[in-house]
Amino acid sequence: MHMTELNRAPLSAYKSLHSAILCGETLNEVKQIERSIARFGLLSPIVVTAVYDQLIVVDGKKRLAAIKRMTFAGTLPRSLQHIPYIFVHKAKKADMNSTSALAPRQVYKAVMELKEEGKALEDIADTLYLCRRIILDVINLSRLFPAIRETYFNGGLNFDQARAYASVPDHRDQIALLGSLGPQAKPETILNAIKGWRAEAKPADAKPAPALVIPLTDYLPAAVNSVEFIAAGAPEKVEQYVA
């Protein structure tokens, strides 16, 4: 598993140092978060620091306020009886992985649903309480071959790896690259390999070298079933031209 591991704790374990009365614009924002949680769940963990046996909230006060209101109203999803959190020092290092660690499939589904509804980028970010950059990065995952995206959802790739593979426009090349580098390749290794492929690209009228035909299963992490790839639209074999 490449994703950042998250802990969970009951609502009573969290403490905000500066509590404010909810009113006006702040209350409206909290209500919007409530609607988002009710529809999509909590898509990012609460960022905390620990003081004795209390979790002091560093980032997530409005989300926590929304969860408190939903708890009081009896509308909180059962999955949030214990709320996910990440310590602030780990969150800084993890960046997007700390967000996607909570529910990568959920985050992707929520973003794409709102996008298909015609929501603007800023509206999606406001609705899901995620930053604009994360929304853009998640939308870019739609460029991935479906089964490679599924590999990311299942933890076989981390977010930065998935984002790197998504920068390759052709699905066959994505599969070939994953097979060549393997699921453990660092994002910078993937990006350097892509640059190398592009630099060595031949003119369209050039005679290709003999094709090396490799079974599709040779390209995949062991956790991915080749039948799923074929069902998702991949050919049974992928041709890779080698010099």
**Structural domains of the chain sorted by starting position, each given as residue range(s) with its CATH number in brackets:** 7-137 (3.90.1530.10), 158-241 (no CATH)
- DSSP strands (E only) in 31-120: 46-51, 54-59, 82-87
CB 135 within 8 A of CB 121: yes
- Is the pLDDT at 210 greater than 80? The verdict is no
Instruction: Report pLDDT for 9.
Output: 92
- Is the pLDDT at 220 greater than 50? The verdict is no
Q: Which residue has the higher pLDDT, 148 or 101?
A: 148
Tokens of 31: 């209500």
CB 97 within 8 A of CB 17: no
- Is the pLDDT at 234 greater than 70? The verdict is no
Residue corresponding to tokens 């890779």: 240
Mean pLDDT of the chain: 77
- Is the pLDDT at 37 greater than 90? The verdict is yes
130 band by pLDDT with thresholds 50, 70 and 90: confident
Query: Which residues lie below 8 Å from residue 91, measured CB to CB, with a gap of 6+?
Result: 45, 47, 59, 98
Side-chain half-sphere CA neighbours of 237 within 13 A: 8
Q: Which residue has the higher pLDDT, 203 or 26?
A: 26
Distance between CA atoms of residues 240 and 243, nearest Å: 10
- Is the pLDDT at 170 greater than 70? The verdict is yes
Distance between CA atoms of residues 63 and 210, nearest Å: 57
Q: Please state the rounded mean pLDDT for residues 202-230.
A: 40
Distance between CA atoms of residues 117 and 39, nearest Å: 14
